[in-house]
Amino acid sequence: MQSTLLNFLFLFIIALTIALSYSNTLNSPFVFDDDQIFYNELKLTELSLESLKKIIFKETKVSKTRFIPNLSFAFTYYFFGPNIKYYHLGNILIHILASFALFFLLKEFLLFFNSSCNTLKYSLIAFISTLIWSLHPINTNVVTYTVQRMTSLAALFIFLSLIFYLKLKQLMPADSFKRKLSFFLLFIISTLFAIFSKQIGALILIFILVFEIILLKNVTKRNLIFILSLCFIFILVGLFYTNIWNIIVNGYETREFSLVERIFTQTRVVLHYLSLWFFPNAERLTLFYDFKLSQNLLYPITTLVSFLFWFLLFSLIVYLNKKNKKYCFIITFFLVAHLIESTIIPLEIIFEHRMYVPSAFLGIIITEPLISFFSRRSFVIVSLFLILFLSFGTYTRNTHWKSNITLWEDALDKAPKNNRIYNNYGVYLLNERNDFERASILFKLGYDSNPHDITIASNHLITTLMSNNHSLFESLWKDYKTLIKDKKKLPYEPIINVSAALISFERYEEALYVISRIKKKDSTLLLFSGHAYRMLGDYHLALSDLQESLRLGNRRAKGELHELYILMDH
């Protein structure tokens, strides 16, 4: 009874401190085009089986394979409409639930090694460790950045899955079959929900394999065969589910870094994540980075330093496997949790939200030594100071999310060479503030910084066209043609935007050249090319493209075809 009341008290404090730390985020804006995703693509207006199917199987920018967060966004819209406050409340609530799950996971994890010791001590360690994780400023990029609900949902189900796994491990032979089956089914359901929240959920079986190998004193051959078989099945399913080989092979075609550069750079990136976690400072956190690529082991020289660090850390893992298996698992868990997002898959180089799951156990490394070396009074004082420091850091970091202006200005101040900031800030000013002049300046600054970036080059070309500066446009167009000609694979959205702009300014030949650079054309590009051919008098090609656009479901092609038939009759 006393233990239950203490757990409720701990959970209440966790929820209260999270709510206070994130109380200034309820009106924080959506970033990028998240509002279009939530209000259009994931808009649920009626509760029916058919509408739910559409949400589950709909391919969105969030990803159709992540239907658990998709459904959560859809239900947010259904119950509360387009009110941004409730999207943020949903994120905060999920973060609180993930923190609750982590508390019980850490408690089970610690008691697994110390079942005969004072449970109050390890409950306290789990409580403080959870507060460190839940209030850490680095997690604002998950909680406050609305679309990253997929990360917090994946974490919630990963933690639940590991809890049920530990419960299964502690069942006695005398326990009923019904009890064993219940925990096993809960484990399977949590694992599937984690995977369908975000692909990182597929690492659950790897976590368990690590636990079996590192932590258990008597690993039976049967246990290992069972776990390895499950891993193999999940890996096969994962390969099919994510189409990973195609992503790896083709993904680097649109990136400005190679596979080798990414791997070398990630040794520094993950080390940077660790520095942010152990030395939290809200002023070091940002949505985007100027992170120099590692071209080889010696350039930049910090690449060699990072390799030496990881060599020492792996050596420490080997040592701890004999001396302290608990800490061995914590460090290995951190590394394994980065396998998907920080190794060979051609994702963006760095994002702080990638620390959300990997940092789950790190609080133990801080809290356990504190409770061992300090007196009870000193431990309470140090813990209170640490929690207040982290909470203040989170609240401070969230002030940068107050508006799109404050967010992008903060990002620009911390990463002035990052083209995505210039581009996204410029798009926001152009579309939401109708500030053509400032948007044009940002696109030009970004283009001057990196003229090989397709997205920023496209937006700079469009705003130059809109400004009627014909001589500058002709110069930029010449460079743009060379740029898109040399690219093996072009990003879709910039090509669509440039094509639309060129057609609206009756530059049909230029538009057709841009469209020709996309090998597989969709209904929109075919509509554009059909319109351009019609305006140039090439009715045969116009008819072919417009009919194909209509066949692919573009209703706007009907009007174009009607106009074309009138011209052809004459």
Q: Which residues pair with 299 in a beta bridge?
A: 296
Rg, the chain, Cα only = 27
Contacts of residue 307, defined as CB under 8 A and 6 or more positions apart, other chains included, come to 267, 297
**3-state DSSP call for residue 250?**
helix
- At 394, give phi and psi (nearest 5°): -65, -45
Which phi and psi (to 5°) does residue 408 adopt?
-75, -35
Question: Cβ distance 386 to 132 under 8 Å?
Answer: yes
CA 159 to each of CA 132, 265, 504, 521: distance values in angstroms, whole numbers, following the listed order: 16, 29, 52, 43
Residue 49 amino acid letter = L
Query: Contact 206/336 with Cβ under 8 angstroms?
Result: yes
Q: Is there a contact between 130 and 18 (Cβ–Cβ < 8 Å)?
A: no
Phi, psi (degrees; rounded to nearest 5) at 243: 55, 45
**Single-letter code of the amino acid located at 322:** K
Q: Give the tokens for residue 489.
A: 């694979």
Q: SS3 for 25?
A: coil
Quick one: CA dihedral 330, 333, 338, 344, positive or negative?
A: positive
Quote the pTM value.
0.90
Q: Which two tokens stand for residue 142?
A: 């998950």
* pLDDT by residue, tens only, the chain of 570 residues: 567 899 999 999 999 999 999 999 999 988 876 777 777 778 787 888 888 877 777 666 556 678 899 899 999 999 998 899 999 999 999 999 999 999 999 999 998 877 656 688 899 999 999 999 999 999 999 999 999 999 999 999 999 999 999 998 887 777 778 888 999 999 999 999 999 999 899 899 889 888 888 876 555 566 666 666 666 666 665 555 556 666 676 778 778 899 999 999 999 999 999 999 999 998 899 999 999 999 999 999 999 999 999 999 999 998 998 889 999 999 999 999 999 999 999 999 999 999 999 999 999 999 999 998 888 889 999 999 999 999 999 999 999 999 999 999 999 999 999 999 999 999 999 988 899 999 999 999 999 999 999 999 999 999 999 999 999 999 999 999 999 987 777 888 899 999 999 999 999 999 999 999 987 778 999 999 999 999 999 999 999 999 999 999 999 999 999 999 988 876
Q: What's the helix, strand, coil split of the chain in %, to 5?
A: 75, 0, 25
